Amino acid sequence: MMDFLNRLFGGGSRGSGSDPDGLYYYVRPRGCDEVVRVRINRMNDLSLADDGQSYWVHKVVRGIKCRQTVDLNLYFDSNKRLTNTEIENGDLVDASDYDKWMAPQSPNP
């Protein structure tokens, strides 16, 4: 189950090799083609949940070309592994969707 979530939501697999604390997730705002990469710092961004054992983070995501605002809530276990997601006004997509969107955005040499 966790492998599936990590593949679907990024799971930190697409960051720089020198960014061990970064977890990356990809969001497509509703009604837009743009895909936004969201970085979560597992050491600074996560807040301890009310149960005193798990963690959560809330991010407001907005792209550059698309002005739609997305609310993203991510929930983690005591080992800071993703357990659940909630998203409003958008969809979580995977890193390949981000790569596909970015390809035509980059100027050709």
Q: Which residues of 60-99 are buried (b: 16+ CB within 10 A; e: fewer)?
A: ebebeebebebebebebeeeebbbeeebeebebbbbeebe
Q: Is 105 helix (H, G, I), strand (E, B) or coil?
A: helix
Confidence at residue 12, expressed as pLDDT on a 0 to 100 scale: 47
Q: Phi and psi (nearest 5°) for 92?
A: -80, 135
Mean pLDDT by 10 residues, the chain (109 residues): 50 60 95 96 95 96 93 96 96 95 78
The amino acid sitting at 84 is N
Confidence at residue 32, expressed as pLDDT on a 0 to 100 scale: 94
Confidence at residue 34, expressed as pLDDT on a 0 to 100 scale: 96
Confidence at residue 63, expressed as pLDDT on a 0 to 100 scale: 92
Confidence at residue 109, expressed as pLDDT on a 0 to 100 scale: 58
Query: Are the beta carbons of 21 and 41 closer than 8 angstroms?
Result: yes
What is the pTM for the complete model shown? 0.78
Query: Are the beta carbons of 36 and 72 closer than 8 angstroms?
Result: no
For the chain, the structural domain boundaries read 2-102
